[in-house]
A and B are shown apart, each in its own frame.
Chain A
Amino acid sequence: MTRIHIAQGRIIDPETGMDSIGDIYVADNRIFSILGQLEDFDAEITIDARNQIICPGFIDLSARLREPGATQKATIASEVKAAAASGVTTLCIPPDTSPCIDNPAVVELIDDKAKAANYMQIYPIGALTYKLQGQELSSMFALKNAGCIAVSNAQMPIANLLILRRAMEYAASFELLLIYRPQDYHLSQQGCAHEGAVATRYGLPAIPEIAETTALLQCLELVAHTGCKVHFGQISCARSVDFIRLAKHSGLPVSADVAIHQLHLTENDVLPFDGVYHVNPPFRRAGDRQALRMAVSEGVLDAICSDHQPHNIDAKLGAFPETEPGVSSLETLLPLTLSLVNENELSLMQAIAALTTKPAKILGLEAPSLKVGRLADLCIFDPEIIWQINTQSWLSSGRNTPFWQQNLQGKVTHTIQNGQIIFG
């Protein structure tokens, strides 16, 4: 049990609203003391946190680690290292591994691999349907007991609304959260870019805005009917934000997140035929990006997630529509969120809340807080450091980021999980 003294950092805790300079002492995995200096604390490690920010560790609602099934892209061991270096102390894993997370054995395997890599807080998200085929319900009760924090069908289509209704009713019976990525399969089939002027110009198969909004609206009606708690993942359109706002006003038990890169890039940033910009949902219009930023600031979109999807080089080599979608984004989560603070889109407190207390609330976890007696999950970062994304600085196996070789501001210096330093 490491005894850690973190000295003279700016402590920010969205749960208590604290924003003060002071010290934090960690002992027996827990926060032992906060703010005041202890004369007789026998620290094994002292971290000088002057000019740095200390906040709760980040909770990422969607990060694909590619294991089991696609270890040519990344492994749990490689990606938890990237997570640790990014200040992320809790990871939620979508069920579309191979085999998918539709039985307790896969949950155990993921858990074992994470523990072997000294990463303690991984929450698999169980498959909503058997083999994610969208046809039969999965054994949700068993998945919950095995440790799944929620259920989801990831990006896979659900055959029809009856099955979605039954799945939601069943999930609600066990108070399981459904994480739903709203995208109509037929409206978005084989699309790779936002349906708009850019896709038209380049002749790219497109994913229209209505693929998201119609699926969202259908699901909202089912929420009203079934009472199932639903979290909408990776929202991309301004109109979706409007519908989620209305649903929240009317008291539906819904929440939503946005992927960090959606708050930065639009269809106009996409380099023609460069597969690294191929994401799903696609980068949309500047107006959508602005609405998404506003929605995070208003709290309509509760959380920011990485939507981390590391790929090997081959997956992104090819003509744009043939490449696999997704961005490797754990390591850009903090700097890109901080850049929204620098652009005055969010306050620092809001930004940190969107990465910590808000996702905890969505998942029904105890709010991460820097209170005495709490498990010590902490992130310490320097908001000023400018660093370049390159082979030296990057840890994820997936180098598929549109920000490769760019300079970003803000870097995690230490990550503490369960009272242990896992990075720094």
Chain B
Amino acid sequence: MTNDQGIQFTSEGKLKHFLTIEGLSKSLLTEILDVAESFASVSEQQVKKFPLLRGKTIINLFFENSTRTRTTFDLAATRLSADVLNMDISTSATSKGETLLDTIHNLEAMHIDMFVVRHSVSGAAHFIARHVAPNVSVINAGDGQHAHPTQAMLDMFTIRRFKQDFSPLKVAIIGDILHSRVARSQIQALNILGVAAVHVIAPKTLLPAQAESLGIKVFYDVKQGLEDVDVVIMLRLQKERMTGALLPTESEYYKCYGLTEEKLKFAKQDAIVMHPGPINRGVEIASEVADGMRSVILKQVSYGIAVRMAIMSMTMQAAGSRE
């Protein structure tokens, strides 16, 4: 596919929609992390509201369930003083593009400034961005198996907090890469930020075709893949994929790919363990690891608010400047 990344920017080159990490520059990703840092450091002292989006209306448009992501978007918008509306729409009612577009146009007619969209089909956020009015921003909160760019940015934020410099880092991602929008966005962000290597560890059934083309090194064996690694990112294994044609059983998966203290020994001593949540204890990760010293899983959740504040304020400013 040829580039369509222009859609994310205003004619002045400002980030207006946040749909995918692909095509964003290292300096832009760094700017997002820096802005997030400023929100985070203030918030860590005292929870404070910023007036940046006062008078703006944001809709969290979730065609797919998610408590955590929606809550952090909700909190981020509230802390930026925006008015927030949460809409959960069952996918079945809008399985046709026509209906999706009708939904968007109906909401637009109510003078909405930003859509935060989650949808089960790859490309849904792009589709909406292509059809909204010029002064409306769209933020992708996860589309099908394509992208989850805000999750990737909060993961980058977490890595930077703990490891400072990206360039010497080896990062391992373990789990269902094939179906994971999180993994795709993480891999893009890590490569743009210039890490030394991205290792992906999974059985062939959970890897996409020509996986290496994503800019990764593939390992089928956890011990080999974890060697000398600074950051271990676990992916959630969806319930419906735990048994059947992709994997024989949960327990076999845990044996081969579940992150235990024993397997973690192959990574660097000071390696951190991340997980986008919600975690399946005893399936992809052992409780000792999830709750252990090296786990930064709960930090990721709290950083998620600052990162989403950064992205919302930056895109809204760009969209507003076009009016």
- Cα–Cα, bound, A272→B126 (Å): 9
A-B contact pairs, 18 of them (CB 8 A): A195-B209, A201-B1, A201-B184, A202-B1, A203-B146, A203-B147, A204-B145, A270-B1, A271-B2, A272-B3, A272-B123, A314-B96, A314-B98, A317-B97, A319-B123, A319-B126, A320-B121, A322-B96
Q: A275 → chain B, closest Cβ, in Å?
A: 8
Q: B residues near A, CB below 8 A?
A: 1-4, 22, 95-98, 100-101, 119, 121-124, 126-127, 143-147, 181, 184, 208-211, 213-214
Query: Which residues of the partner chain B approach A204 to less than 8 Å between Cβ atoms?
Result: 122-123, 145-146
- Cα–Cα, bound, A317→B147 (Å): 20
Number of A-B residue pairs at CB separation under 8 A: 101
Known A269-B2, A272-B1, A323-B97: A203·B122 in contact at CB below 8 Å: yes
List the B residue with the shortest CB-CB distance to A194.
B209
Contact of A321 among B2, B98, B121, B209 (CB under 8 A): B121
- Cα–Cα, bound, A352→B10 (Å): 48
Q: A219 → chain B, closest Cβ, in Å?
A: 24
Query: Which residues of the partner chain A approach B96 to less than 8 Å between Cβ atoms?
Result: 314, 318, 322
The answer to whether A199 touches B97, judged by C-beta atoms less than 8 angstroms apart, is: no
The answer to whether A322 touches B1, judged by C-beta atoms less than 8 angstroms apart, is: no
The answer to whether A321 touches B144, judged by C-beta atoms less than 8 angstroms apart, is: yes
Q: What 3 A-B pairs have minimum CB-CB distances, sorted nearest first? A: A318-B97, A203-B145, A273-B123
| Interface of chain A residues 188 through 238 with chain B (CB within 8 A) | 195-206, 208
- Cα–Cα, bound, A270→B4 (Å): 10
Q: B117 → chain A, closest Cβ, in Å?
A: 11
- Cα–Cα, bound, A267→B210 (Å): 14
Contact of A197 among B121, B126, B147, B209 (CB under 8 A): B209
Tell me whether A405 is interfacial, beta carbon within 8 Å.
Answer: no
List the B residue with the shortest CB-CB distance to A186.
B245
- Cα–Cα, bound, A317→B131 (Å): 10
List the B residue with the shortest CB-CB distance to A315.
B97
List the A residue with the shortest CB-CB distance to B5.
A272
Query: Which residues of the partner chain B approach A390 to less than 8 Å between Cβ atoms?
Result: none
Chain A 271-308 per-residue mask, 1 if CB under 8 angstroms from chain B, else 0: 11111000000000000000000000000000000000
Q: B298 → chain A, closest Cβ, in Å?
A: 28
- Cα–Cα, bound, A208→B209 (Å): 9
List the B residue with the shortest CB-CB distance to A209.
B209
- Of A203, A205, A274, A322, which is in contact with the most chain B CB atoms at under 10 Å from its CB? A203
- Cα–Cα, bound, A203→B149 (Å): 13
Q: A residues near B, CB below 8 A?
A: 195-206, 208, 267-275, 314, 317-323
Query: Which residues of the partner chain B approach A275 to less than 8 Å between Cβ atoms?
Result: 97
The answer to whether A319 touches B119, judged by C-beta atoms less than 8 angstroms apart, is: yes
List the B residue with the shortest CB-CB distance to A197.
B213
- Cα–Cα, bound, A200→B121 (Å): 14
The answer to whether B210 touches A203, judged by C-beta atoms less than 8 angstroms apart, is: no
Q: B10 → chain A, closest Cβ, in Å?
A: 19
List the B residue with the shortest CB-CB distance to A195.
B209
List the A residue with the shortest CB-CB distance to B185.
A203
The answer to whether B4 touches A272, judged by C-beta atoms less than 8 angstroms apart, is: yes
Contact of B1 among A198, A206, A319 (CB under 8 A): A198
Q: B248 → chain A, closest Cβ, in Å?
A: 19
Extra inter-chain contacts (13) besides given A268-B1, A271-B4, A318-B98, CB under 8 Å:
A199-B209, A200-B213, A202-B146, A203-B184, A206-B208, A269-B2, A271-B1, A317-B101, A318-B101, A318-B121, A319-B121, A319-B122, A320-B122
The answer to whether B147 touches A318, judged by C-beta atoms less than 8 angstroms apart, is: no
Q: B7 → chain A, closest Cβ, in Å?
A: 9
Q: B158 → chain A, closest Cβ, in Å?
A: 23
List the A residue with the shortest CB-CB distance to B187.
A201
Contact of A322 among B121, B184, B208, B213 (CB under 8 A): B121
The answer to whether A267 touches B1, judged by C-beta atoms less than 8 angstroms apart, is: yes
Known A272-B123, A321-B144: A314·B97 in contact at CB below 8 Å: yes
- Cα–Cα, bound, A200→B97 (Å): 23
- Cα–Cα, bound, A202→B184 (Å): 8
Q: B127 → chain A, closest Cβ, in Å?
A: 5
- Cα–Cα, bound, A182→B66 (Å): 40
List the A residue with the shortest CB-CB distance to B99.
A318
Known A202-B1, A271-B2, A272-B1: A320·B123 in contact at CB below 8 Å: yes
The answer to whether A200 touches B1, judged by C-beta atoms less than 8 angstroms apart, is: no
- Cα–Cα, bound, A349→B65 (Å): 59
The answer to whether A203 touches B181, judged by C-beta atoms less than 8 angstroms apart, is: yes
Query: Which residues of the partner chain B approach A203 to less than 8 Å between Cβ atoms?
Result: 122, 143-147, 181, 184
Q: B200 → chain A, closest Cβ, in Å?
A: 12
List the B residue with the shortest CB-CB distance to A275.
B97
- Cα–Cα, bound, A354→B19 (Å): 44
Query: Which residues of the partner chain B approach A271 to less than 8 Å between Cβ atoms?
Result: 1-2, 4
List the A residue with the shortest CB-CB distance to B213.
A197
- Cα–Cα, bound, A322→B101 (Å): 13
